[in-house]
Copies of this chain bind each other. A is one copy, B any other.
């Protein structure tokens, strides 16, 4: 499954485009976010991506889960959002 990384500086529209792009090839994509700001951009991107794929009859859902991520040698807990087209 392809993994997209969201950060506080991610543009939600661009990330939404990337989500919709991956979902043309695959039925799901994972978005990783560490911290509230990154998660905020990721969730906005999913809401926007819903509009990108809806005209093709695809409904996007997401499943949030905790994930361990190594950042600069340190173990951090982030959130992964599995986005699926149904």
Measured CB to CB, the residues of A under 8 A from B are 35-37, 39-40, 43-44, 46-47, 50, 59-66, 79, 81
Contact = CB atoms under 8 A, between A and B. Distances in A.
A65 B62 CA distance: 11
Give chain A's interface secondary structure class.
mixed
Contact of A36 (B39, B50, B65): B39
Given A36-B36, A36-B37, A37-B36, A43 B61 contact: no
Nearest to A86: B61
Nearest to A62: B62
Contacts of A60: 63
Contacts of A65: 47, 50
